Copies of this chain bind each other. A is one copy, B any other.
């Protein structure tokens, strides 16, 4: 393995009926800003549980966070924090709400000219408002990491930042909260988690024997539980708890220790979301098979390990084994009702031109971190997904 540091102090509070525990972990007397999304938490009872648990603390609210949260839409929360002296934030929602809260928390303490610099110029995060999470949608792993992705409407950009200062103080994961989710959101979460694991695991050998086996465990578990969730008529607790815990473990800094990670699939996927508003997970399901095809020679060793250990494939022709694993991965997405070609979403060649243009304008030469996805390959990757 490469040398690494691991630091993840997020307190996970997992299980049925655990939302009431936030009372133990939000400082008494805090002024709390409650941040949430489109209001589903008011219909499924989560809002009431959170308000009850916060008790006599002064609570301000900032609802309406959208998927792929926009800078323009969330900056007003920073004003509320300043004006009201808010000293703790509660994020109640899925990855978009948590990511938005991370940016709001860092922006509130930002000393530079414009908080957008945190995203565009890696402006240093020196402190942030502490926050807790009640997770309603397992997918992004944001509840147990220090990463955030924010979009900007005015420029059609979608950018990420990362800081240990925006690790949640605690995250409550109650699997029953997911029962009221539409099935496509549950499946999107499974795909998002699956691709997170792939992007940390399926690169180059690095003797990270434990991280490899853990990644292979999670991949197989998601392939069992995702289609099971899709078929079940009534949600089952053991299925939902496993999906929820797997999504957290897919991106809690554990699998990436000491290894070469990728993230090129995410980078290309973000462009599709920015241009067409496609669900994040859908963009990953479209891009991943094409990306893996483009690196199948270079990443053959790890692709064969993936094929053998998680799909039970074997054969003398390693390239054929790798290709079969890529096809099965694509089928796994499709079997949960997610289409994996651009044409399924009415997207054609002109979008490919536009993406190349945008990446070129930003001076991108290589995508991701693995050094094997040069810009000139992006056209081929996307054309293979038409």
Contacts and interface: CB of A to CB of B under 8 A. Distances in A.
Interface string A1-26: 11111111101111111100000000
A207 B237 CA distance: 10
B221 A217 contact: no
Contacts of A213: 214, 217-218, 220-221
Given A210-B249, A218-B210, A12 B7 contact: yes
A27 B137 CA distance: 39
A276 B4 CA distance: 40
A257 interface: yes
A86 to B, nearest CB: 25
Interface in A231-250: 238, 241-242, 245-246, 249
A209 interface: yes
A258 B217 contact: no
Contacts of A258: 14-15
Contact of A4 (B14, B218, B238): B14
Judged by DSSP, the binding face of A is mixed
B15 A11 contact: no
State the copy count for this chain.
2
B241 A207 contact: yes
Contacts of A12: 4-7
Contacts of A221: 209-210, 213
Contacts of A220: 213
Given A210-B217, A213-B217, A14 B9 contact: no
Contacts of A8: 8-9
B246 A210 contact: yes
Contact of A13 (B5, B17, B245): B5
A35 to B, nearest CB: 23
Nearest to A21: B5
Contacts of A207: 238, 241-242
A1 B217 CA distance: 17
Output the residue of A1, A13, A225 with the most chain B CB within 10 A. Answer: A1
Contact of A15 (B3, B214, B242, B245): B3
A5 B207 CA distance: 31
Nearest to A24: B5
A275 B261 CA distance: 51
A25 to B, nearest CB: 10
Given A221-B209, A246-B210, A18 B3 contact: yes
Nearest to A237: B207
Contacts of A1: 14-15, 241, 245
A217 B13 CA distance: 25
9 contacts: A5-B13, A207-B238, A207-B242, A210-B217, A210-B246, A213-B218, A213-B220, A214-B217, A217-B217
Interface of A: 1-9, 11-18, 207, 209-210, 213-214, 216-218, 220-221, 225, 238, 241-242, 245-246, 249, 257-258
